[in-house]
Amino acid sequence: MSRSFRLPGVLLLAVVAASVSAAVRTTAQQPLPQGHAVRHGADTIPIYSDSQATAGQAVWTKTCSECHESKDVTGGDFRTKWAGQPVFTLFEQIRTTMPDGNPGSLPKEDYAAALAYILKLNGLTPGAAPFVADSAALAGVKLILPPAPSGY
Ligand code: HEC
């Protein structure tokens, strides 16, 4: 049950300019500081706040956990699918497809909070500012996920 909380905290976000994506991909395979976002393979930025993730945990418990276990958003299938993908794409997928059967029914803030919680479950370190679903600001911000944990 608490297994996902013990996973190595190696989810990272990379801010990848399209022009340097190849270089960043190479860098991203090196060990990076835990739980930071990476800009051009060097600078790191946080992408959500801890209080937002706490709010997201409440959203998760109330709404998402009806159908999901946390390993659905930390396990091998999830990481294989989302590694290297834009974080905004993940946000939009959740917002436009979840809850299954009633997509888009939550306030946008709740989707952002749920995403923050998912990022925290994957070990990303919070910062001062909350995740804001701004496609322009998030352009090029990509998920760098750890290898699939064994047993998932
Ligand atoms: C009524 C059941 C149900 C609820 C409630 C629900 N989900 Fe889902 N969720 C699903 C199903 C079923 C899938 C698989 C859909 C598919 O693969 O097409 C899924 C898929 C997902 C995925 C994609 C996983 C992947 O590997 O890409 C994410 C992320 C997700 N849900 C997040 C959430 C969040 C966050 C909430 C709460 C806001 C939520 N879900 C609520 C049923 C639900």
Q: Provide the residue type at 81 as one letter.
A: K
pLDDT at residue 23, as a whole number: 28
CA of 100 to the centre of ligand 1 (A): 6
* Smallest CA separation from ligand 1 atom 28, residue: 94
- List the CATH code of the domain at 9-144: 1.10.760
Ligand 1 neighbourhood includes 40 CB (under 6 angstroms)? no
Ligand 1 mutation target, pool 11, 57, 64, 85, most atoms within 8 A of CB: 64
Q: Any idea where the domains of the chain sit in the sequence?
A: 9-144
Ligand 1 neighbourhood includes 107 CB (under 6 angstroms)? no
Contacts of 39 (CB under 8 A, 6+ apart): 14, 15, 45
pLDDT at residue 151, as a whole number: 61
Ligand 1 neighbourhood includes 121 CB (under 6 angstroms)? no
Per-residue pLDDT of the chain in tens (152 residues, 90 and over written 9): 444 444 343 344 433 333 333 223 333 344 444 444 443 333 457 889 999 999 999 999 999 999 999 999 999 999 889 887 889 999 999 999 999 999 999 999 999 999 999 999 988 888 899 999 999 888 878 877 666 666 65
Secondary structure (3-state) at 13: strand
Report CA-CA distances (Å) from 96 to 48, 67, 145: 20, 16, 22
DSSP H helical ranges for the chain: 21-28, 50-62, 76-82, 87-97, 108-121
Ligand 1 neighbourhood includes 64 CB (under 6 angstroms)? yes
pTM of the model: 0.79
